[in-house]
Structures are given as C-alpha cells and as structure tokens.
C-alpha cells in the first residue's frame, strides 16, 4: 500500500500534545479528523516526534498508508478543514518501508525567552525578566554533549527503555532580542528540553553553580532538575532524515 509523509506545523497552545490521547484534544486527532472529512476514509497516523502540552512545532511529521493516489495539491483543501493553529506544509509519497520516527536522524528544539514585557510574545516565548549570566549559561550548555544518560532530565511515568541520547549541539544565543536555547539530538526524553532549560536558568541566576549542574547530569536523579519552565516557550524546530529520504521531502 502506498505510504505518505505528512509535514505539519502547529501552535500547541490549545492541545494536550502531538499524539492522540483519550479525553484530550491533540494535533494528531485534528489531522485525522480532517483527512476523514476530505477523503471519507479513516486514516491512522504515525508520528515522528511527540511534543507535550502547549509545545509548538515549526516542523513535525506523520506517516500514513493510503490506498490510492493523493494529489499534493489537495493540501490547500485539507488545510481549509483544519483549525487555524494547525497547517499541513506538504504531503510526500515515500517508500513503503519509510518510517517518520525510525528514519529520523535528528530533532532540533529551540526554547525562546524574552526579557522585556511584550504582549505579542506572551504565548510563544517565556517571559523571564531576571538578570542572567550568559557566560555561565553557555558553560553549562557546553557540558551537555559530553553526556549520554539523561535520566536526570526525564520526567517520571515514561515508557522508554533507555535514557541514552546523543546530543549533537547545545548552545545559547541571542536572536531578535530573545535569548534562545538550541539543542539537537537523535532523540529526546519526556520533558527533557524543559528540564535542561529550567535547570540552566538556575545557573544563569547564580542559584546553582556550573559544577552543581554537572553533578545533576551525573546523578541520574531527576529530583534535582527544574522542570518548571512553561511549554509555550518551546518549539520543535526541525526534524532531519537520511539523505535519500530527505530528497523525497522537497
């Protein structure tokens, strides 16, 4: 049966996450509903990267199997059915063995922080008007790729079998008057990016030393990590695939 990749972007404010859930609205449920309305066939989606409640995405993917040919030009019609805060950016035919989760080689997240009150950023970045030592933030971020086990930065009640992640990039930078944390890895754990950001902000405020941050990394104990930063500052920025598959997603 032909398989398709579905590239999406969404504002996660009004959703309990990316993946379909019982008794809660999700991005997946809205897209499956729109496909059912348009094609009059039930379509079951498989997601690439889960995002938590309130988290946004500039790029994420589903794949699905569909008996018949789908015209990519119909994206406009399906988007007309979807809510205003979800958009399909493209539908791409791929090989029948292609898998949007297992064939992804990396995911990139960015967390946005603004320091001066701005009503236009209220639901897309975290207002944090405190003095921060940026060099300390950068020093803490530079430690992260040196470690593989991120048990300390995973929320509990997770079903994963391993807490090992390969971090390829971890840095802070300033863009458009916002402080941004960028992290790229092969995979992420539940609440991981928010835990890293929240704990590093404690370093930036001088409430935790860089050595103390590294101790938390080593400890494999999430009781000392800070997961309190809100989801609305976090974006899944990019999902990257193998070269051969990437050529099909254009």
**Tokens for 78?**
């399906």
Buried b (16+ CB within 10 A) or exposed e, 129-153: eeebeeebbbbbbebbbeeeebbbb
- Helix (H/G/I), strand (E/B), else coil: 234: strand
Predicted local distance difference test score (pLDDT) of residue 244: 86
What's the rounded Cα separation, in Å, for the pair 153 and 218?
11
55-114 pLDDT tens trace? 999 999 999 999 888 888 899 999 999 999 999 999 999 999 999 999 999 999 999 999
226-239 pLDDT tens trace? 999 999 999 999 99
Predicted local distance difference test score (pLDDT) of residue 69: 83
Q: Which CATH number does 3-102 carry?
A: 3.30.70.580
DSSP symbol at 48 = S
Predicted local distance difference test score (pLDDT) of residue 221: 93
Token pair 């863009």 is at which residue? 175
What's the rounded Cα separation, in Å, for the pair 53 and 183?
19
Catalytic site residues?
Answer: 52
Predicted local distance difference test score (pLDDT) of residue 72: 85
| Element (DSSP H or E) covering residue 105 | strand 104-114
Averaged over successive runs of 10 residues, the pLDDT of the chain (250 residues) comes to 94 86 82 95 91 94 91 93 96 94 96 96 96 97 97 84 94 96 96 97 97 96 95 96 88
Q: Which CATH number does 106-237 carry?
A: 3.30.70.660
Where are the domains positioned within the chain? 3-102, 106-237
Predicted local distance difference test score (pLDDT) of residue 22: 64
Predicted local distance difference test score (pLDDT) of residue 152: 96
């Amino acid at each position: 049966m032909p398989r398709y990749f579905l590239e999406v972007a969404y504002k996660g404010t009004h959703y309990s996450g990316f993946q379909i859930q019982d008794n809660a609205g999700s991005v997946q449920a809205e897209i499956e509903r729109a496909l059912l309305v348009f094609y009059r066939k039930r379509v079951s989606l498989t997601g690439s990267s889960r995002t938590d409640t309130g988290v946004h995405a500039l790029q994420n993917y589903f794949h699905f199997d569909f008996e018949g040919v789908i015209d990519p030009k119909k994206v406009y019609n399906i988007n007309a059915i979807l809510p205003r805060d979800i958009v399909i950016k493209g539908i791409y035919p791929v090989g029948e063995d292609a898998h949007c989760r297992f064939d992804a080689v990396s995911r990139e997240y960015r967390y946005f922080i603004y320091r001066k009150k701005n009503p236009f950023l209220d639901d897309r970045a975290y207002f944090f008007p405190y003095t921060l030592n940026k060099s300390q933030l950068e020093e803490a971020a530079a430690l992260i790729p040196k470690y593989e086990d991120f048990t300390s930065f995973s929320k509990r009640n997770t079903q994963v079998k391993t807490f090992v992640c390969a971090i390829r990039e971890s840095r802070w930078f300033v863009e458009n008057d916002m402080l941004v944390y960028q992290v790229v890895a092969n995979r992420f754990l539940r609440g991981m990016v928010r835990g890293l950001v929240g704990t590093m902000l404690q370093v930036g405020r001088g409430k935790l030393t860089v050595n103390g941050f590294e101790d938390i990394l080593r400890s494999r104990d999430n009781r000392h990590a800070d997961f309190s930063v809100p989801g609305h500052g976090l974006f899944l920025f990019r999902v990257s695939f193998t070269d051969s598959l990437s050529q099909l997603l254009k």
